[in-house]
């Protein structure tokens, strides 16, 4: 029978059993089961006639059978362990290292010992996510930070598509193998590895995609393509088959945004200046032609006979009225 790795349900308990690879049973991922094993213990041999009951010098080997509840990790559990311990085997994690990381961020060691393996993995996942998202508020990101985040998002989606292709390739090229043979064990390992890495990439898309969308909207850039990819990579979004049709267009758009965001702001301002309409030369006028026209119309249409009378009606000085009428008169002559 082919084997797979299982974990003690309470891996940090003092008498917990180490991770072990057992023969395949009808146990689904994420479920628990009781596993028994037999080991040899040396027990003292009773000595007849000794009032204390035991004779310390003699022992005998006895077969002792004991059992523990084990847990078969899910693909999400393996992806989290793989992110936290990239140099180790995700199916056979180092629980002392997991304990050390959780204690370092403030968890109580006695409380951790009472936690089940799935709960410990969830705590570790939050810790890994907090380390991988050491980024500023998306609404406060600089242009360079947004460009870096866009490039990272492109890498995550590319990894997601590549690992999906690798997983499908393993499934389609697999030939019937004898149960329990090394070839079948290798096939199961490759299937779990590719699916776990694909899940890891999808988790990074769902985590960093919304932040990228907020950062793009801050610079008035279209974020609909990014949000579409995030939705399709989600649990109910359809998966890679729905990401693939929209990805090429979104990828080209993000690459264009990266180039635009990395350009110096001075260069962009110069481009705006070159494309804007030319302005009239000379110094700006000190007077308002429309105000001069209103004064002219008030004098002519109001029945005023002198500039002083018009100035009293408009609450202005006589000189201001005279100059405004003269300027408007000259403008009328130029139009003729």
Q: For residue 267, what are the CA distances in angstroms to 151, 259, 272?
A: 22, 12, 9
Residue 209 has pLDDT above 80, yes or no: yes
Q: In which band, very low, low, confident or very high, does the pLDDT at 107 lie, cut at 50, 70 and 90?
A: confident
Q: State whether 126 and 142 are in the same domain.
A: no
262 within a domain of the structure (yes/no): yes
Q: In which band, very low, low, confident or very high, does the pLDDT at 120 lie, cut at 50, 70 and 90?
A: very high
Q: What is the reported pTM?
A: 0.46
Q: State whether 262 and 160 are in the same domain.
A: yes
- Could you tell me if 113 and 13 are in contact, meaning their C-beta atoms sit under 8 angstroms apart? yes
Q: State whether 7 and 116 are in the same domain.
A: yes
More confident residue, 295 or 267: 295
**What was the pLDDT predicted at 279?**
61
Residue 49 has pLDDT above 60, yes or no: no
- Could you tell me if 164 and 198 are in contact, meaning their C-beta atoms sit under 8 angstroms apart? yes
Q: State whether 9 and 87 are in the same domain.
A: yes
Q: State whether 88 and 192 are in the same domain.
A: no
39 within a domain of the structure (yes/no): yes
Mean pLDDT (whole number) for 67-85? 83
276 within a domain of the structure (yes/no): no
107 within a domain of the structure (yes/no): yes
131, 158, 179 - which closes a domain: 131
| SS3 track for the chain | CCEEEEEECCCCCCCCCCCEEEECCCCCCCCEEEEEEEEEEEEECCCCCCCCCCCCCCEEEEEEEEEEEEECCCHHHHHHHHHHCCCCCCCCCCHHHHHHHHHHCCCCHHHHHCCCHHHHHHHHHHHHHHHHCCCCCHHHCCHHHHHHHHHHHHHHHHHHHHHHHHHHHHHHHCCCCCCCCHHHHHHHHHHHHHHHHHHHHHHHHHHHHHHHHHHHHHCCCCCHHHHHHHHHCCCCCCCHHHHHHHHHHHHHHHHHHHHHHHCCHHHHHHHHHHHCCCCCCCCCCCCCHHHHHHHHHHHHHCCCCCHHHHHHHHCCCHHHHHHHHHHHHHHHHHHC
Q: State whether 14 and 97 are in the same domain.
A: yes
Q: State whether 245 and 206 are in the same domain.
A: yes
Tell me what percent of the residues of the chain surpass a pLDDT of 70: 78
281 within a domain of the structure (yes/no): no
**What was the pLDDT predicted at 67?**
80
131, 149, 183 - which closes a domain: 131
- Cα 332 to chain center, whole Å? 67
More confident residue, 57 or 109: 109
131, 166, 184 - which closes a domain: 131
Q: State whether 257 and 314 are in the same domain.
A: no
Q: State whether 114 and 61 are in the same domain.
A: yes
229 within a domain of the structure (yes/no): yes
283 within a domain of the structure (yes/no): no
Q: State whether 122 and 187 are in the same domain.
A: no
**Domain coverage including residue 79:** 3-131
Give the number of domains in the chain.
3
Q: State whether 177 and 104 are in the same domain.
A: no
Q: In which band, very low, low, confident or very high, does the pLDDT at 117 lie, cut at 50, 70 and 90?
A: very high
279 within a domain of the structure (yes/no): no
Q: State whether 59 and 127 are in the same domain.
A: yes
- Over residues 278-317, the pLDDT tens digits come to 566 665 667 788 888 888 888 888 778 888 888 888 888 8
- Over residues 136-191, the pLDDT tens digits come to 678 888 888 888 888 889 988 988 888 888 888 888 776 666 666 677 777 777 77
């Amino acid at each position: 029978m082919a084997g797979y790795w299982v974990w003690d349900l309470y891996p940090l308990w003092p008498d917990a059993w180490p991770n072990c690879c057992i023969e395949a049973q009808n146990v689904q991922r994420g479920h628990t089961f009781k596993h028994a094993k037999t080991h040899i213990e040396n027990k003292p041999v009773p000595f007849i006639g000794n009032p204390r009951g035991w004779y310390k010098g003699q022992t005998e080997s006895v077969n002792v059978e004991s059992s523990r509840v084990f847990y078969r990790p899910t693909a999400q559990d393996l992806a989290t362990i793989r992110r936290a311990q990239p140099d180790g085997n995700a199916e056979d994690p180092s629980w002392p290292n997991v304990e050390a990381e959780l204690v370092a961020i403030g968890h109580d060691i006695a409380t951790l010992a009472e936690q089940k393996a799935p709960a410990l993995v969830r705590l570790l996942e939050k810790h890994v996510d907090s380390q991988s998202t050491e980024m500023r508020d998306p609404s406060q990101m600089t242009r360079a930070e947004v460009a870096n985040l866009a490039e990272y998002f492109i890498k995550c989606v590319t990894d997601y598509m590549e690992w999906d292709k690798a997983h499908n390739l393993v499934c389609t090229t697999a030939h019937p193998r004898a149960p329990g043979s090394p070839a079948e064990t290798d096939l199961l390992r490759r299937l779990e590895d590719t699916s776990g890495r694909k899940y890891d990439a999808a988790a990074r898309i769902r985590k960093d995609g919304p932040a990228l969308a907020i950062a793009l909207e801050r610079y008035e850039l279209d974020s609909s393509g990014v949000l579409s990819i995030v939705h399709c990579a989600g649990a109910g979004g359809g998966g890679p088959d729905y990401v693939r049709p929209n990805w090429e267009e979104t990828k080209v758009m993000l690459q264009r945004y990266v180039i635009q965001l990395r350009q110096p702001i001075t260069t962009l301002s110069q481009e705006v200046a070159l494309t804007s309409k030319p302005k009239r030369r000379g110094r700006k006028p000190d007077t308002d032609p429309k105000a001069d026209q209103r004064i002219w119309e008030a004098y002519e249409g109001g029945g005023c006979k002198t500039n002083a009378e018009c100035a009293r009606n408009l609450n202005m000085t006589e000189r201001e009225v005279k100059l405004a009428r003269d300027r408007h008169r000259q403008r009328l002559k130029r139009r003729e």
